[in-house]
Amino acid sequence: MKNLSVIIITVSSLFLTLMSSAATSEVKWTDSDKYRDVHAGDGHRAKFKARVFKNFEEHFATLAKKLPEGQTLIIDVQDVDLAGDVHQNMQRIRVIKEIFFPRIKFSYQVVDSNKQVVSSGDVNLKDMSFMMGSNLRYNQDSLGYEKRMLDEWFNKTFSL
Q: What is the pLDDT of residue 43?
A: 62
For residue range 93-147, what is the model confidence (pLDDT) as tens digits? 777 778 788 999 999 999 999 999 999 999 999 988 877 866 666 767 778 889 9
Class of domain 23-157: alpha beta
**pLDDT number for residue 56:** 96
Q: Where are the domains of the chain?
A: 23-157
pLDDT at 73 over 60: yes
Asked whether the predicted pLDDT for residue 21 surpasses 80, the reply is no
pLDDT above 50 for 91: yes
* pLDDT average, residue stretch 78-99: 79
Q: Above 80 in pLDDT, residue 3?
A: no
Q: What is the pLDDT averaged over residues 29-51?
A: 81
Separation of alpha carbons 4 and 65, rounded Å: 31
pLDDT bucket at 2, cuts 50 / 70 / 90 = low
